[in-house]
Amino acid sequence: MRYAQGGGLTDERRAFREKLRMEACERFVHGDENAVIARDLRVSVRSVQRWHRAWSQGGPRALTSKGPASLPLLSDELFAVLEQELAKGPVARGWPDQTWTLSRIKTLIGRRFHKSYTVQGVAALLKRHGWSCQVPARRAVERDGGGGEGDLAERGRTVAALGAWLVFEDEAGFSMTPPTTRTWSRRGHTPAVRVRGRSRRRLSVAALACYKPGERSRLIYRSCPDARPDGRKSFSWKDYRDLIQTAHQQLGGPIVLVWDNLNTHLTAGMRRYIAERDWLTVYRLPPYTPDLNPVEGIWSVLRRTTTANRAFADPQDLITAVRRGLRQLQYRHDVLDGCLTGTGLSLASP
């Protein structure tokens, strides 16, 4: 039997199919019916009938694999070179955007290796080597790529040395106009959800995601409505100070705090407060790196569940819904751990 390489069969897959045919040979010798063999081997009856004809004419040797019908145009070694070229991105090869399409990869193969592929052949080639068509993640152009991973490793060593909690902080705003998520509807009839037309922010929330090897993850938060007596619509450095102090009391141990470069985090009062606390060590995330902060995942979960597709009656209804969602997340330690895993970071017990 011979299978085309272009169909995507690997050596392991061809060996597996040959094993099925050899099992069918043993059943042919015992005189089992084709339908019974097909049911037991979970293949089609037509395939078993074809095997039976070949076995009747040439015996078991007629069912052994002859290998691929032809060698692939790109060997595994050449495909590794192609992967290196693809990793450079389409812009490096003269295309205006950052999208690899099948036609562009076909052109790249022709230019780099002087081999002709069809678009369908390129798709089969990529799938055979574990590639797929995906929605890319966005990353800011201004992001500082230098020193980020090393800085995170340094925080891990600090946490281990101090036996401290690793705490990530972030803020988010919630408005009367909620995010929309997918909902079921009849085909051809786009569903509509009723929301408030005013999108002005009504609530700010600062949250701390707390992790420590051997301990359950924690979520500590503080909300700030925009209607405050002092007229301020966001957190002051004193609000962050009180939140950190509350976390220290609840966690009962040293804290390694990781947050962004918000101007409120850099005020003189906050710097003085940090310097006077020996139990508090602070690191700042590199610019434009929200994907390294697990609290961003918590905001995503909150917006896709508690506040999605909901018409809030008044600002107090919004505040109640957000607080209820955060309280529920406080008991979902698996979700909090998943938000940390989503950043690519992990905590291992020493």
Kindly report, residue by residue over 212-222, the tens digit of the pLDDT: 988 999 999 99
The mean pLDDT value for 288-307 works out to 87
Give the per-residue pLDDT at 110.
92
Q: Would the pLDDT of 181 be above 60? A: yes
Kindly report, residue by residue over 232-276, the tens digit of the pLDDT: 778 889 999 999 999 999 999 899 999 988 899 999 999 999 999
Q: Would the pLDDT of 112 be above 70? A: yes
Reported confidence tier of residue 160, pLDDT bands at 50, 70, 90: low
The mean pLDDT value for 294-300 works out to 92
Rounded to an integer, what distance in angstroms lies between the CA atom of residue 52 and that of residue 71? 28
Q: Please, are residues 179 and 308 in contact by the beta-carbon 8 Å criterion?
A: yes
Reported confidence tier of residue 67, pLDDT bands at 50, 70, 90: low
SS3 assignment, position 174? strand
Q: Would the pLDDT of 184 be above 80? A: no
Does the pTM surpass 0.75? The reply is no
The percentage of the chain sitting over the pLDDT mark of 70, rounded to a whole number, equals 81
Distances in Å between the alpha carbon of 179 and those of 85, 111, 311, 342?
39, 46, 10, 21
Q: Would the pLDDT of 325 be above 80? A: yes
The mean pLDDT value for 116-137 works out to 84
Q: In what order do the strands lie in the sheet with 280-284?
A: 218-225, 201-211, 165-175, 255-259, 280-284
Q: Kind of pairing, strands 218-225 and 255-259?
A: unpaired
Give the per-residue pLDDT at 149.
45
Which residue type is seen at 221? Y
